[in-house]
Amino acid sequence: MPPMRVLMLSKACIVGIYQRKLEEIARLGVELLTLVPPSWKDERGETPLERAYTQGYRLETLPIRLNGNFHLHSYAGLGAAVHRFRPHIVHIDEEPYNLSAWQAYYHARRVGARTLFFSWQNITRRYPPPFAWGERWLLNGVDAALAGTESAAAVWREKGCRCPIHIIPQFGVDPDLFQPAAPCPPRPFTVGYIGRLVEEKGVHLLLTALAALEGEWQLRVVGSGPQRQPLTEQAAALGLAERITWVEWAASAEMPAQYAALDVLALPSLTRPNWKEQFGRVLTEAMACAVPVVGSDSGAIPDVTGNGGLIVPEGNVSALTDALRRLRDDAALRTRLGGAGRARVLAQFTHAQVAAATVGVYRDMMGT
């Protein structure tokens, strides 16, 4: 029997470490073609394609139109690529209210391919035409959906999606790449934040919380975004500038070294009317490295963290300070949470597990 052919359209797969899942999918007997843009633009700047894990499948680029426009970007030559490959399944790694998702769905239907989409959207949003029309068109016709969390699945059930919805994270973690670091020389207690520098991530609250933390500590911030300058100014006003190391960018395969420099990772996200934390990939990466995490109770953070860290009420600066103090003063607690976090990742959040679950959905779609 010939292998199942799957075409995946995914701007997220420009990130090198995410491609490990693609190798695992191919290893399970899928003939996989993944189409990505040459780069993607967001508030952090422009991220180019990294080719890190490319064995066993094809990773090809298509020119992207309106790069950085989440709702309106599309791909030149997508139809021709779909017709050449003649997939059994088109995996649309996009939210169903985006033009690129409609584009992929249209071309999949033209060749008789089955379709599924992926969503992190965990807040019910009502869109004006034409987005509402395109979303309804796609929801009425797709064969399956993948949702990163149960709260995301609930959104699409509420919106009338009747196809099977499977709860599977978009990506896992490579536990061989992200693993506990070797013992390091003595250093001050080091708190880390890794991610976008935007208001809803709550980094300004982390600075305020650390200003109230007596004794020795340092902060390592890895990321960029529009809040970089306001955060720098806030740190100076709080007298913290000398305690903070700013790292604007690191290649995805270099991220384990960033976690190795930390004693704890903080993710004090804040829920907003149009956003709440959808997963927090940095949580699983830190946990895989046996770095305990402190997160707010925004969105999916408690469900992802489990017993691998401490959860504080979002927006509660004093509770955040207290949690950081507990971890600084109790090395045994850090060790226990770090070990529990790594065990949780190995049990639930590896690329191999995500790939196997995804291929299981493909087989269900094909009736094999």
Q: In terms of domains, do 250 and 105 share one? A: no
9, 52, 6: which is closest to 26 by C-alpha?
6
Would 177 be classed as within a structural domain?
A: no
Please give the angle made by the CA atoms of 86, 28 and 121, to the nearest 5 degrees. 75
CB-based contacts of 112, cutoff 8 Å, min separation 6? none
Would 184 be classed as within a structural domain?
A: no
Give the pLDDT confidence score for residue 143 in this predicted structure.
97
d(CA 356, CA 50): 24
Q: In terms of domains, do 148 and 270 share one? A: no
- Per DSSP, 16 falls in state G
The CB density around residue 2, as the number of other CB atoms within 10 Å, is 6
d(CA 152, CA 155): 5
Q: In terms of domains, do 36 and 112 share one? A: yes
Q: In terms of domains, do 274 and 135 share one? A: no
Number of domains composing the chain: 2
Q: In terms of domains, do 137 and 234 share one? A: no
Give the pLDDT confidence score for residue 313 in this predicted structure.
98
Give the pLDDT confidence score for residue 253 in this predicted structure.
84
Would 182 be classed as within a structural domain?
A: no
Would 195 be classed as within a structural domain?
A: yes
Give the pLDDT confidence score for residue 1 in this predicted structure.
63
d(CA 179, CA 200): 29
Output the domain CATH number for residue 244. 3.40.50.2000
Cis-peptide, bond into residue 130, ω within 30° of zero: yes
d(CA 134, CA 97): 6
**What pTM value is reported for the model?**
0.90
Give the pLDDT confidence score for residue 43 in this predicted structure.
81
Q: In terms of domains, do 101 and 203 share one? A: no
- The single-letter code of the amino acid at 203 is V
Domain that holds residue 225: 190-348
Would 298 be classed as within a structural domain?
A: yes
| pLDDT tens digits in sequence order for the chain, 368 residues long | 679 999 999 999 999 999 999 999 999 999 999 999 999 998 888 999 999 999 999 999 999 999 999 999 999 999 999 999 999 999 999 999 999 999 999 999 999 999 999 999 999 989 999 999 999 999 999 999 999 999 999 999 999 999 999 999 999 999 999 999 888 788 999 999 999 999 999 999 999 999 999 999 999 999 999 999 999 999 999 999 999 999 988 888 899 999 999 999 999 999 998 888 988 899 999 999 999 999 999 999 999 999 999 999 999 999 999 999 999 999 999 999 999 999 999 999 999 999 999 999 999 999 97
- Per DSSP, 298 falls in state S
Would 27 be classed as within a structural domain?
A: yes
Q: In terms of domains, do 107 and 83 share one? A: yes
Q: Look at residue 303 and give its three-state secondary structure.
A: helix
- Return the H-helix or E-strand segment holding 127: none
Tokens describing residue 257: 């070294």
The CB density around residue 192, as the number of other CB atoms within 10 Å, is 25
How many residues would you count in the chain? 368
Q: In terms of domains, do 131 and 204 share one? A: no
Quick check: 272 and 196 in contact, CB under 8 A? Answer: no
Give the pLDDT confidence score for residue 161 in this predicted structure.
94
CB-based contacts of 267, cutoff 8 Å, min separation 6? 193, 195, 201, 202, 277, 280, 282, 283, 293, 294, 295, 296, 301
Quick check: 39 and 10 in contact, CB under 8 A? Answer: no
57, 115, 103: which is closest to 76 by C-alpha?
103
Would 236 be classed as within a structural domain?
A: yes
- First CA to last CA distance, the chain: 11
